[in-house]
Amino acid sequence: MSKLKLLTDGFIKNNPTFVLLLGMCPTLATTTSAVNGLSMGLATLFVLVLSNIVISLIAPVTPDKVHIPVYIVVIASFVTLLQFIMQAYTPSMYETLGLFIPLIVVNCIVLGRAEAFASKNGVWASTLDGIGVGLGFTLSLTVLGAVREMLGSGSIFGWKFITGDGMLAFVMAPGAFLCLGYLMVLFNKIAKK
Amino acid sequence: MAVKSNLLNMSLMLTLTCLVCSAILGGAYVITKDPIDAAKAAKTNKAVSAVLPLFDDAQKGETALRDEASGEEKPYVYYKAVKDDELVGYAIESSVSGFGGELKVLVGFTPDGKIFDTDVLVNNETPGLGAKCAESESVFRRQWKGFDPKVKMLSVKKEGGDIDAITASTITSKAYTQAVYNAVQVFDALNGEAADAATGVSVHPKEGGQSNE
Amino acid sequence: MRKLIVSPSPHIHSKDSTRSLMLDVVIALIPAVICSVVFYGWRELLLLGVSVATCVLLEWAVTRFLMKKPSTIGDLSAVITGILLALNVPYTLPWWILVIGAVVAVGVAKLSFGGIGQNVFNPAIVGRVFLLVSYPSQMTHWEQPQGLFGVDAITGATPLGAAKEGTLGQIDYADMLFANIGGSAGEVCAIALLIGFVYLLCRRVIKPWITLSIFATVALTALIFWGVNPERFTDPLFNLLTGGLILGACFMATDYVTSPMSVWGGVIFGIGIGFLTMMIRYFGSYPEGVSFAILIMNAFVPLLNRWFHQKKFGRK
């Protein structure tokens, strides 16, 4: 498979949010604004790429029966590393994303790609796959966050274009589900062409 | 998998993985410890400076006060702010049960007992209604600046006090007021202790305080 | 080989029969509409107009251009959704907010599911709840009716709102029955709504068991709780007359598409709505529970339809 295809597949054909329907929990919870969605996506991307690399390296020497705990320890370590970095250098975003940063450990996307791809392919391919899927995830989260922010707070990336509040439902759970549903329809319609 | 799953290999792999990961994380912890502490201190300073006038240093302290309603000892976190060795004021964290969950207010007092300002630390109120208490520019919040509990009554106007409640959010407004009331109690106790420490006499925290409900 | 198409009931067989049913519902709503315009004035008429127009227009546009089939507005269901939505909001609501509500009601709750017959949730209620969550301060801003005759407008809590905050004083039931209190039009014209309900019963458009089981459950639940603690809990008559209960029980819970088909299913549906309404009113964060209760029970309808089959023709 061409290496470039690995990258672009993660965007559309294998888009984790709108096609694979993975990682729904952080998707719905952290997309209250475009910046939050973007940060969450990038945080996941960081963990995804690094764990893909390491797992593709150690997979050949990992006994089959313990491969899940071993992978999880690796993933959890990268998440902890991410936590240290965010706490030290981006404290306000760390507070905003809160609980969902450690939850990256159990984000299906990470373990899913590790099992489905990284454990069976070489380092370079796994890296590209991680970047591709991670960027696809970041893209969906940013788009969803932007839509919710526009409808719910009347702003884009923090720049408000109305006074007062928007439709508050979109800043809360119901709006998240509604937006996700309609975006999924739109995405799949465009992707089919 | 190229490696067999016998007991030796499995134990070896797991142990090795954990050792390597812990080592790396230990290293990362050491490297990031200082920036993290600095970020935490900056955050506290930022919160406290929102409710008090300019200061150099804020020391954190903990105290406890008996809650009038339940009779239990309730712990309170406070910050003592000083500038050039002079007391600038106290910022007291006060937590109550609001409409949708915990409501934690930070109340800043100047030594004369007046409230310099308040800020919201934790808020679970309804967006668009009670959550307005977290908007520092709102009418509700602005009335707290320079509020003197010795002169004005700490309850909502509907109940004979001096506080303008948020429209359609009486419960949140009452909770906020209660949080401030509790903070006033704590301040009186702290101020009493400080004054007594200066004169060498120690007195237990008073109940009732100087404000009326 | 001809394909055998199997689809779940209910089947709407011809537009005419749906239309005549819906027409009866519109007629039944006329007393309440008149009552609300008399009490709230011209603004209520504006709101009704805006709501109905938006619903009808949206349904026409979507069915014609997106779904590419003949428009279904002739069956009058969009008109009913529009009327019900307008009766459920404060008369001071900015009209553009109502438009948003109408778009959500028809666009999201009805058309996105496939149009009439396919929706799970009552569209008018979905629209109303969406607005309640999105614009809470505008949606909870109740003024005393000014009417065509110019009574002074007073902003105040509705009886239910006051009960939730614990500031309810003396209750005057006559006032509530004949609309001297704050509240949405749906709340305020109890007699007018009941007249419409009786009309629908006489025309055999709806069967009484859903509505009656709702009223009975509300009364019984309130009786038990109020009996135990009259200070904290409001009494049965109060609960029957306030909030959107009458409007909800008579016109929204009985919507064909979103309610169970069988008798027992309907009774359980009604019991669930009544019980949930009271629980939300007594213990929940919102003062009014009918909307949420109906939506929750709507979700159970497919299950209730499965458990309680209609008797099949020819079976014993």
Residue pLDDT, tens place only, B106-162: 988 888 888 888 888 887 787 777 778 888 888 888 888 888 888 888 888 777 788
Looking at the complex, report in whole angstroms how far the Cα of residue A99 sits from the nearest Cα belonging to chain C.
25
Nearest residue to C107 (alpha-carbon basis) of A192, A144, A181 = A181
Percent of chain B with pLDDT over 70: 88
Per-residue pLDDT tens digits for C260-279: 888 889 999 999 999 999 99
Beta-carbon contacts of C179 under 8 Å, excluding residues fewer than 6 positions away, are C35, C39, C145, C188, C189, C190
Nearest residue to A99 (alpha-carbon basis) of A181, A7, A29 = A29
Place of tokens 């920036």: B35
Per-residue pLDDT tens digits for B76-101: 888 888 888 888 888 888 888 887 78
Question: What average pLDDT does range C103-112 have in this prediction?
Answer: 92
Residues B176, B105 contacting (CB under 8 angstroms): yes
Question: What average pLDDT does range C128-148 have in this prediction?
Answer: 77
The end-to-end CA distance of chain C, in Å, is 34
Question: What average pLDDT does range C84-104 have in this prediction?
Answer: 91
Interface of C with B in 279-298 (CB under 8 A): 285
Per-residue pLDDT tens digits for C222-256: 899 888 888 777 778 777 877 688 888 999 999 88
- Residue B30 at interface with chain A, using a CB cutoff of 8 Å: no
- Residue C199 at interface with chain B, using a CB cutoff of 8 Å: no
Per-residue pLDDT tens digits for B170-198: 788 888 998 998 888 888 888 776 655 54
CA C294 to chain centre: 8
A192, containing H or E segment: helix A173-192
pLDDT exceeds 60 at position B30: yes
Cis preceding linkage at A69, omega within 30: no
How many residue pairs bridge chain B and chain C with CB atoms within 8 Å of each other? 22
Task: Out of A18-27, A117-126, B204-213, C39-48, pick the least confident.
Answer: B204-213
Phi, psi at C42, each rounded to 5°: -65, -30
- Residue B17 at interface with chain C, using a CB cutoff of 8 Å: no
**CA quadruple C10, C16, C19, C20: dihedral positive or negative?**
negative
- Residue B201 at interface with chain A, using a CB cutoff of 8 Å: no
Interface of A with C in 81-120 (CB under 8 A): none
Q: With cut-offs at 50, 70 and 90, classify the pLDDT of residue B201.
A: very low
Query: Which partners does chain C have (≥3 C-beta pairs < 8 Å)?
Result: A, B
Question: Residue C302, Cβ neighbours under 10 Å: how many?
Answer: 12
pLDDT exceeds 50 at position B59: yes
Mutating which of A151, A167, A186, A189 best tests the C interface, going by the most C Cβ atoms within 10 A? A167
**Does the distance separating the beta carbons of A61 and B17 come in below 8 Å?**
no
pLDDT score at A139 = 92
Per-residue pLDDT tens digits for C173-185: 544 444 444 455 5
Beta bridge partners of residue A52, listed in sequence order = none
Of residues C25 and B203, more confidence is placed in: C25
Question: Residue C264, Cβ neighbours under 10 Å: how many?
Answer: 12
Residues C172, C7 contacting (CB under 8 angstroms): no
Question: What average pLDDT does range C184-196 have in this prediction?
Answer: 74
pLDDT score at C271 = 95
**Separation of alpha carbons B43 and B41, rounded Å:** 5
**Separation of alpha carbons B90 and B185, rounded Å:** 12
pLDDT exceeds 70 at position A153: yes
The pLDDT mean for chain A works out to: 88
pLDDT score at C157 = 55
The end-to-end CA distance of chain B, in Å, is 73
Q: With cut-offs at 50, 70 and 90, classify the pLDDT of residue A55.
A: very high
Q: With cut-offs at 50, 70 and 90, classify the pLDDT of residue B15.
A: very high
pLDDT exceeds 60 at position C149: no
Question: What average pLDDT does range C33-50 have in this prediction?
Answer: 86
**Separation of alpha carbons C155 and B31, rounded Å:** 60
Q: With cut-offs at 50, 70 and 90, classify the pLDDT of residue A72.
A: very high
Q: Which two tokens stand for residue C208?
A: 């009484």
Nearest residue to B186 (alpha-carbon basis) of B103, B91, B119 = B91
B213, containing H or E segment: none
DSSP tag of B71: -
Q: With cut-offs at 50, 70 and 90, classify the pLDDT of residue C98.
A: very high
pLDDT score at A110 = 92
Q: Which residue of A has its CA nearest to B31?
A: A84
Q: With cut-offs at 50, 70 and 90, classify the pLDDT of residue C127.
A: very high
Q: With cut-offs at 50, 70 and 90, classify the pLDDT of residue B211.
A: very low
Q: In sequence order, what DSSP letters do the residues of B103-118 get, joined into one string?
A: EEEEEEE-TTS-EEEE
pLDDT exceeds 70 at position C15: no
- Residue C134 at interface with chain A, using a CB cutoff of 8 Å: yes
Half-sphere exposure (Cβ direction) of B80: Cα atoms closer than 13 Å: 13
Task: Out of A58-72, A151-165, A175-189, B4-18, pick the least confident.
Answer: A151-165
**Which whole-number Å values give the CA distances from C64 to C43, C70, C111, C156, C197, in the listed order?**
31, 6, 12, 44, 33
Beta bridge partners of residue B63, listed in sequence order = B76
Question: What average pLDDT does range C127-135 have in this prediction?
Answer: 91
pLDDT exceeds 80 at position B207: no
Helix, strand, coil % over all residues of chain C, rounded to 5: 65, 0, 35
Q: Which of A65, A84, A89 sits opposite B5 (nearest CB)?
A: A65
**Separation of alpha carbons C229 and B135, rounded Å:** 38
Cβ neighbourhood burial of C229 (10 Å; 0-12, 13-18, 19+): exposed
Phi, psi at C172, each rounded to 5°: -110, 105
Residues of B in contact with A84 (CB under 8 A): 28-29, 32, 36
Q: With cut-offs at 50, 70 and 90, classify the pLDDT of residue C312.
A: low
**Separation of alpha carbons C243 and C140, rounded Å:** 12
Of residues A58 and A9, more confidence is placed in: A58
Question: Residue A52, Cβ neighbours under 10 Å: how many?
Answer: 29
**Separation of alpha carbons C202 and A181, rounded Å:** 42
The pLDDT mean for chain C works out to: 80
- Residue C136 at interface with chain B, using a CB cutoff of 8 Å: yes
- Pairing label, strands B86-97, B73-83: antiparallel
pTM for the full predicted model = 0.80
ipTM of the complex: 0.83
Residues of B in contact with C167 (CB under 8 A): 158
- Residue C167 at interface with chain B, using a CB cutoff of 8 Å: yes
pLDDT score at C283 = 81
pLDDT score at B205 = 37
pLDDT score at B1 = 47
Task: Please report how the helices A173-192 and A123-153 are oriented relative to each other, as an axis angle in degrees rounded to 10.
Answer: 120
- Residue C201 at interface with chain A, using a CB cutoff of 8 Å: no
Cβ neighbourhood burial of C312 (10 Å; 0-12, 13-18, 19+): exposed
Q: Which residue of A has its CA nearest to B13?
A: A62
**Does the distance separating the beta carbons of C136 and A168 come in below 8 Å?**
yes
pLDDT score at C131 = 93
- Residue B160 at interface with chain C, using a CB cutoff of 8 Å: no
pLDDT score at B2 = 61
Phi, psi at A15, each rounded to 5°: -55, 120
**Does the distance separating the beta carbons of C133 and A169 come in below 8 Å?**
yes
Half-sphere exposure (Cβ direction) of A37: Cα atoms closer than 13 Å: 30
Which residue intervals of A22-104 are DSSP H helices? 24-30, 34-58, 67-89, 91-97
Beta bridge partners of residue B83, listed in sequence order = B86
**Separation of alpha carbons C196 and C193, rounded Å:** 5
Residues of B in contact with A80 (CB under 8 A): 25, 28
Residues B36, A84 contacting (CB under 8 angstroms): yes
pLDDT exceeds 80 at position C94: yes
Cβ neighbourhood burial of B103 (10 Å; 0-12, 13-18, 19+): buried
pLDDT score at C6 = 73
Q: With cut-offs at 50, 70 and 90, classify the pLDDT of residue A181.
A: very high
Place of tokens 């519109």: C26
**Which whole-number Å values give the CA distances from C7 to B170, C10, C117, C118, in the listed order?**
51, 9, 12, 11
Q: Which two tokens stand for residue A175?
A: 């709006």
B84, containing H or E segment: none
DSSP 3-state of C253: coil
Cis preceding linkage at B149, omega within 30: no
pLDDT score at B72 = 80
**Which whole-number Å values give the CA distances from B43 to A92, B36, B117, B118, B121, in the listed order?**
9, 11, 17, 16, 11
**Does the distance separating the beta carbons of A171 and B17 come in below 8 Å?**
no
pLDDT score at C163 = 61
Q: Can you list the positions of beta strands (E) in chain B?
A: 57-66, 73-83, 86-97, 102-109, 115-123
**Separation of alpha carbons C227 and C217, rounded Å:** 15
Nearest residue to A37 (alpha-carbon basis) of A109, A136, A130, A143 = A143
Question: What average pLDDT does range A84-88 have in this prediction?
Answer: 92
